[in-house]
Amino acid sequence: MSIFHSDRPVIPIESLEKSAWERFFSIISVLIFLGSIVFLVMIWGNLPGQVPAHFDAGGEVTRLGSKWELVILPLIGALLYVLLHVLEKYPHVHNFPIEITEANAEQAYRISRSLLGWLKNIILVLFTALMLNSVVIAMGWAEGMGMLLLPLTLLGTMVPIAVAIVKLMNMRAEEGSK
């Protein structure tokens, strides 16, 4: 059995509709991302040749790089967004900590699809924040996000994963008590 020929039930993605909040967050994250691209294009000529390219855990700049390295961040963010967006549409191939059956498939797929939706939007916003942080420091407008960057990244990615795992494990506990 391969990942793409799973014995798991396949449920049409239309029946796993996103909540209004998920749709709102998707729109906001894409708008923030597109706005940062427009901002980068507008400020490009004013950027110094060298910009912050790497930060340590405390948010201190540890390496300077070409301003062209700023283009890499939105590209990676967009690529991850697209990959997660595609994967979001095929929840029957996701990895689950519980056995997927006909009875629990829809609920489990909804949780997993929602997790990927949150992660793709959070990742898009985080890559935008990283790029903007480098621009702000390079332009001398502020000291950047500093110590906030790492905790925001960890919280932004780990909290949705933990919430999804807890929901899935609660499903398993509920099934076991029946």
pTM for the structure as a whole: 0.85
Cα–Cα dist 105/100, whole Å: 6
What are the structural domain ranges in the chain?
16-171
95 in Cβ contact with 19 (< 8 Å):
no
Nearest-10 Cα torsion for 44, 46, 50, 51: -70
Cα–Cα dist 52/40, whole Å: 14
**For residue 103, what are the contacts with CB-CB under 8 A and spacing of at least 6?**
175
Residue 50's beta-bridge partner residues? Answer: 66
Tens digit of each residue's pLDDT (9 = 90 or more) over 98-123: 989 888 999 999 999 999 999 999 99
Examine the pLDDT at 65 and tell me if it is beyond 80.
Answer: yes
Instruction: Give 43's pLDDT tier (boundaries 50, 70, 90).
Output: very high
